[in-house]
Amino acid sequence: MTKEKNHTNARELVLDILMEVLERGGPSHVVLNQALAKYQYLEKQDRAFVTRVTEGTLEYLLQIDYVIGQYSHTKIEKMKPLIRTLLRMSVYQILYMDRIPDSAVCNEAVKLAVKRRFQGLKGFVNGVLRSIAREKGGLEFPDDSVRYSMPRWLMDMWKNEYPEDTVYGMLRAFLEKRKLCVRLNGTPEEWPGTEESLQSQGVRAEKSEYWEGVRYLSGMDHLEALKAFREGRIQVQDLSSVFAVLAAAPGKGQYCIDVCAAPGGKSLHMADLVGEEGFVEARDISQSKVELIEDNIRRRGASNIKARVMDALEFDQASVEKADILLADLPCSGLGVIGRKPDIKYRVTPDTIEELARLQREILSVVWRYVKPRGTLVYSTCTISRKENEENAAWFAREYPFEPVNIEQRLSGKLQSETLKKGYIQLLPGTYPGDGFFLAVFKRV
């Protein structure tokens, strides 16, 4: 396979991935990961190209559509889906990938249009892209929604909830490239061996300043190629979700229930902390989600954890007052992970947030009964929305026999917030190096 042909195939793969995400509604992280798993034979640079163009096009979609609209007589919503997608991915390369000559981007786009049987539109594709390439140095954006490619209603919501400089810090952070965050499994005594394994494969593991068991990986190709991953030494898990477990403070021999556990990172973390004398029950709503948890359990080789299918909305009499710790990391709008799943910002609506906030309350109204007296309940989400976070936590404390726990001493001293004493924290991208995440810790009284 020639380098040119291989690279053309990489562009065609991007086109197919983006068609699945933008035109058929597939979740970007799932579609991209499935494609990369299917085409593992691609060279490292081609895999990196596919990932960057896919994620970058989605990150900057609003801005890209605005730019296309300035140079096309046909409105973007009236275009053929394939041509619309082809233009979007090509404009991203023109605006944000300096190492690729603009002429090459235009030529490859025309070739793909012809290959996909849109011969009659190759002149249109060529004309729009070459005009943008010629005049990209003078582009101006009408507002910050276009500049940061963030829906205006989301920006307005956040500006009502946070200081303006905090909001702009979030917007910038969502567009920054981030290294893969992993948690080191096992005890601290096992961690040096894990780091040696990573280094032996040319992977750089940068230690987090916030917690000693988190590493940021760079210099890797794909996760499954890492011996440390295959052996269950590392778990892909963001720093923010690690904090949810640290805030719960599981102790040796305790019984823990994780009611919405997939893919199981927090459950496995708790299993490490409770030891062989303790036990973790990791639940989720469907067999497919439970299989994700089971895959991670098998890879880790953990014996003190079991996954089972269970709908958190259905009351389980057998679980009443059984849990020392109950972790309720509940379904949410996911606004905190826009940096890793950029299509979320185009799918969520104000109604979505309202519906999810209600669902969270419904689940909490069922699962609190599984907590022992003096036991701990952790409520967490990976979003940035007061309705789903602070308002629901306050509602829970009013309605049920729980009181907030001061978690200042449980989390890293570098994590500063006055709210820690009140039992909760809202983590914001741009303010600290992780996903947007909320956690609140309660003790049953």
Q: Token match 């990791």: residue?
A: 282
Burial of 374 (C-beta count, 10 Å sphere; 0-12/13-18/19+)? exposed
> CB-based contacts of 90: which residues, under 8 Å, 6+ apart?
105, 106, 108, 109, 125, 129
Torsions phi, psi of 67, nearest 5? -65, -45
The single residue of 106, 181, 260, 382 carrying the catalytic annotation is 382
3-state secondary structure labels for all residues of 10-71: HHHHHHHHHHHHHHCCCCHHHHHHHHHHHCCCCCHHHHHHHHHHHHHHHHCHHHHHHHHHHH
**Helical H runs in 275-332?**
287-300
CA count, 13 A, side-chain hemisphere, 115: 12
382 flagged as catalytic: yes
The answer to whether the beta carbons of residues 92 and 57 sit under 8 Å apart is yes
CA 403 to the chain's CA centroid: 30
Active site residues per annotation? 382
